[in-house]
Chain A
Amino acid sequence: MIALLARGGLGVLVVVVMAGAIPLLAACWQFLLIGVHGVRNHLGAVADVTPRTAIVVPAWNEGAVVGATVERLLAMDYPRDALRVYVVDDASTDETPAVLEAKVRAHPGRVWHLRREQGGEGKAHTLNHGLRTILADDWAEAVMIIDADVIFVDDALRKMARHLADPGVGAVTAYIKEGSRPANYLNRFVGYEYITAQAAARRAQNVLGAMVCLAGGAQLHSRTSLEAIGGRIDTSSLAEDTFTTFMTQREGRRAVFEGSAIVWAEEPDTIGGLWKQRLRWARGNVQVTKRYKRLWFRKWRDRRLGGLSFGVFWFSIFLMPLFMIGSSASLVTLYFIDDPLAWRVFHLLWITNAVVYLFVTFFSFAIDPQTARRSWREGILFPGVVSLTIILATCLPPLFDRWVPDALRAAGLTPGRAVAHAAILFAYAWLSCSMLVAWAAKLLESRGRWRLLSPLFVYVAGYGPLLCAITFAAYIYEARGAEMTWDKTEKTGKVALA
């Protein structure tokens, strides 16, 4: 009986360790679907239409960038009489109002300045102020929601609008690319991340017919669809874009990703800034998960959002920190119970990791070679130096069985068994430890001259674990019921067309 229980316990530990591979397999499945997108996409249903489009730009103290944004929007490759720009000034205290008044005078009938006297309630409230004005008039056939600092490539709106020829499409989103110039290491990490999270993931979601989130900086809605969801953006959460996307799809219309519509955006260049932005997104995801708790994995409730693949994609990201902690904690436990079994399971997990890493990294480079040329180091080092070393050790057993020990012996060092066991234990625990090291990178960034070590910590721990650490922090914030503050991401206007 005891032996049976022990075997059962071991089986549970093995299952929990291998659950660490679920996010990897989900990523693999997602990337496999991109190939299907080659033959199953929405381009077959597009037509040459350019609906009258009102662009709504939320702006708070964007004096440095908003003038140029308006000019660039008006200069887009789109019929002049079918484009209007509404800038909603969220009680700015800088030169934003003056800049906008000048633009209104320069482009009468094309640019509107909508002023909120009481601001600071967040982007959704600001957008709703603009949407009320736009929808009160029957001119607009489509509404584009953007950020004040983004740069649309000339044909981006036209390429998005062509999908609205299909009445089954409610909203279209573009490919947001990191466009900070000069770009630091974190910008390059974000650049690579956006290939995987947007150019890749959203193509896969196109195939499923279910979109996770329309990019906040570029979402085009048909008027019919926007009115069907109440003509306003959800203000009760930190994930207004995801809620808009879900509501659009729940109303029976599709949300489509247009990968050739390029929009450049400035993303945070400090871990502190990134942490603030992603914590808001991750907390928003916790809120979405709870709000739609009766939808996940229930296809009979919603054919697409309730589908298995969509649910697996959502939860593999949402629960990734728990998968990582569970996997490494179980491996360490197995090490003390049944060392050879732990070793075999560890190998299986990391060989899966290696195969998925190769596939995802090189396919991401192939999807967007332009970004890959700039961010290839960050793409390769995305999992972090330590994880890459473990991948190498797993795939090339002689590396640590023979070559490294031989090299150490040649150098007069003979590592004992204790060192070897400590190294193995470290490798087993690494999935959890990587998040701690990533968190340490954030702490170091605000510690005077120690901040110079911060990028090194990110490269060692990996950018992926940094995102997992933020997601974990979001669980804690939401469990504590922390106040929802809409921290605006700081923008300096350094985004440029590549």
Chain B
Amino acid sequence: MGQDREDREGRARVAVPAPAFADEVRRDRRFERRLLLKEALILLAIALLVLARVLFLH
């Protein structure tokens, strides 16, 4: 836990050392971006399945 200090509005305190906080946010943003990649891969796989169904099972 970092030292307590007030922000520019004097309302809240900083809890985590700045680099650790930035790392945490970066990690969370990376997780969200990876969901986009996973979504694209799943959609691609489904598209291939549909194509296979159309080509081979009709």
Contacts and interface: CB of A to CB of B under 8 A. Distances in A.
Given A50-B12, A141-B12, A260 B1 contact: no
Interface of A: 31-32, 34-39, 41, 43-44, 46-52, 77-79, 81-82, 141, 158-159, 162, 164-165, 203, 259-260, 355, 358-359, 362-363, 366-367, 395-398
Interface string B22-39: 001100110111111111
Given A141-B12, A363-B42, A398-B57, A35 B36 contact: yes
A34 B45 CA distance: 18
Contacts of B4: 79, 81
A49 B32 contact: no
A37 B31 CA distance: 10
Interface residues of B, number: 34
Contacts of B42: 358-359, 362-363, 366
B1 A79 contact: yes
B interface majority secondary structure = helix
A34 B35 contact: yes
Nearest to B38: A366
Contacts of A164: 12
Interface of A is mostly: helix
B34 A358 contact: no
Given A35-B36, A259-B32, 8 more contacts: A34-B39, A37-B36, A38-B32, A43-B28, A82-B12, A203-B32, A355-B50, A363-B42
Interface of B: 1, 4, 7, 11-16, 18, 21, 24-25, 28-29, 31-40, 42-43, 45-46, 49-50, 53, 57-58
A465 B37 CA distance: 31
B38 A158 contact: no
A198 to B, nearest CB: 14
B25 A46 contact: yes
A38 B35 CA distance: 6
B28 A32 contact: no
A37 B35 contact: yes
A141 B16 CA distance: 19
Contacts of B33: 38-39
Contacts of A359: 42-43, 46
Nearest to B50: A355
A49 B12 contact: yes
Nearest to A260: B28
B25 A43 contact: yes
Contact of A37 (B13, B32, B58): B32
Contact of B21 (A48, A79, A82): A48
Q: Which among A32, A52, A81, A362 has the greatest number of chain B C-beta atoms within 10 A?
A: A362
A50 B3 CA distance: 12
Contacts of A47: 7
Contacts of B21: 48, 162
